[in-house]
Each structure stands twice: as structure tokens, then as C-alpha cells.
Amino acid sequence: MVTGIAGMGFAAVTTLAEASGPDIPSIDDFLPEPALFAGTPFAINRIILVRIIATVLLIAILGVSAHRAKLIPSRWQGAVEWLIEFVQNSIVYEVMGELRGKRYVPMITTIFLSILVFNLCGIIPGFNIAATATITMPLAFALWCFVQYWIAGIREKGLGRFLKDELFPKGIPWPIYILLSPIQLIELLLIRPFSLTIRLFANMISGHLLVALCFAATQWFFIETTTKAQFPLGILTFAGGAFMTVFEMAVAGLQAFIFAILTTAYINMSLPETE
């Protein structure tokens, strides 16, 4: 009986402690339970659902814009064309040149627009989480980048010369290759894809946590707490959340740009140097 009373007391204290502050976001937010087809290999949780909806919306917007394209563009068509031309001219052609870059404009445009839309899902009401805030999506984009890196190098140089250029850089004394070549191979297969993945993933997960933390605190100070003296703190956390939302929009675009330009640069590195 004493044990039961003690257990009830511990439960009450735990409940009181849990109710004594805002609902702090945690890593569990990025591992939601399946919302559809639970218990099957095709289970879909909230993040996967956001990815599907965002992809469908992106394809629909681009498809409708292309279908309704006119010789004299509307403001909407002009905005879409500006975005595509920005990727083409300011990313691909700027890094690779027009002659080499034409082949990769569709790929880099797809990467840029997909990451941009996926990142912006984190501040869209109803979604409230970036589709790139789990490691799966950034890793998929990074692997696509490095598959193209290998394909481009092998196509232009052949497998033997490509591996020779990657593993045995010119101008280095041959004994150094014993140490350098394994490092180059690890960098090629692991370090570069991993760094590209973590750069995007870490920025989006940290941004989501900061925004969620600010608005969770705002809800607590405005609605759940009974202490009126804490109301000004709610104003501060709301202002912080609004600022972080705008900042997250900027980060969403910046990360899409960085990922696209690094992908272009990596692919360009695998090609032979022009005379």
C-alpha cells in the first residue's frame, strides 16, 4: 500500500513537472508515427507525406506554368523563368561554362527547386517541418550528385584515367601516394557525400528546432501559464519566433543555392581541364 501511495505521488510529481513548462521540441518530432499504411512496408509518416505533397505541388506548378507559357510572359511566368534562368546562368554556366553546362542544367535545376521547396515546408502552416529535416532526403540528393560525378568522369576520361586523376594527383612524390591514395579514396566515396548531406540536414533540423522552441514558449506564456507577469516573455518569444521564421526562409534559399553550386562544382571537378 505504501508502495502504491509512493508510486501515485511520484506520478503526480512527474505530471506536475511536465506541466510546469512549455512542450519542448525534441528529436522525436523527426520520427513521427506512420499516418498511412501503418504496419506495412509502405508506411507513410508525416514527413514522407509532406515530401509527396510538396513534390506533387512543384510538378503541378511547373507543368501549369509551362502549359500556359506565352511569348509575352505574365508576372508569374516571368518569376518562374527568372528562377530557372538564375540556376542556369548564375550556377551552372558560371561554374562549368555554357558548353559543358547544358547537359547538367535539368539536373541542377531539379536539385535546386526540390531542395528549396522541401526546405520551405518547414514554415508553411500545416506542414511545419522541412522535408529535408531527416537525413534520408539530403543523402538521396548527395548520392545523386556523386553518381553523376563518377558518370561524368568515366564518360569523359575512361575509368582508368578517372581513378588515376582522383587517387594519384599530379606533382606529388610517389612515396606520398602510399598514404595519400587511400585518403583520396575515402574522401571520394565517403567524406564528400557525407559532408554534403550533413550540411543540409543539420541546418534544416536546427532551424526547425529553434522556430518550434520559440513558438512553444509563446504558447506557454500566452495560453497555458496563469502568471500574468510572464506575458511580456511571450511577446519576446513570439518576436523571436517571427524573426527565426524569416531567417529560416533565407536559410532555405541559401542552402538550396549552396547544395546546387557544390553539386555543379563537384561534377565539374571530374571533367578534364579545358585548354
| Burial readout 204-230 (b: 16 or more C-beta within 10 A, e: otherwise) | bbebbbbbbbbbbbbbbbeeebeeeee
Q: Which value, to the nearest 10 degrees, does the dihedral of the CA atoms of residues 241, 246, 251, 253 take?
A: 150
Round to whole Å and give the CA distance between 236 and 156. Answer: 57
Give the pLDDT confidence score for residue 7 in this predicted structure: 43
Give the pLDDT confidence score for residue 227 in this predicted structure: 67
pTM: 0.81
According to DSSP, residue 129 is labeled S
Give the pLDDT confidence score for residue 256 in this predicted structure: 93
For residue 37 the three cell numbers come to 499504411
> Cα-flanking dihedrals φ and ψ of residue 271, to 5°?
-90, 155
SS3 assignment, position 258: helix
Tracing cell 511580456 back to the chain, one arrives at 232
Range 211-217 contact pairs with CB under 8 angstroms and sequence separation of 24 or more: 211/122, 211/123, 211/241, 211/244, 211/245, 211/248, 212/25, 212/29, 212/128, 213/24, 213/25, 214/238, 214/240, 214/241, 214/244, 215/241, 216/22, 216/23, 216/24, 216/25, 217/22
CA angle 189–195–196, rounded 5-degree value: 95
Cβ neighbours of 265 (radius 10 Å): 12
Per-residue pLDDT of the chain (275 residues; tens, 9 = 90+): 433 433 433 343 333 334 455 666 666 666 767 777 777 777 787 888 888 999 999 999 888 888 887 877 788 888 888 999 999 999 999 998 888 888 999 999 999 999 999 999 888 887 878 888 888 899 999 999 999 999 988 988 888 888 888 888 887 888 888 888 888 889 888 888 898 899 888 888 888 788 878 877 787 777 766 666 667 777 888 888 888 888 888 999 999 999 999 999 999 888 777 54
For residue 160 the three cell numbers come to 582508368
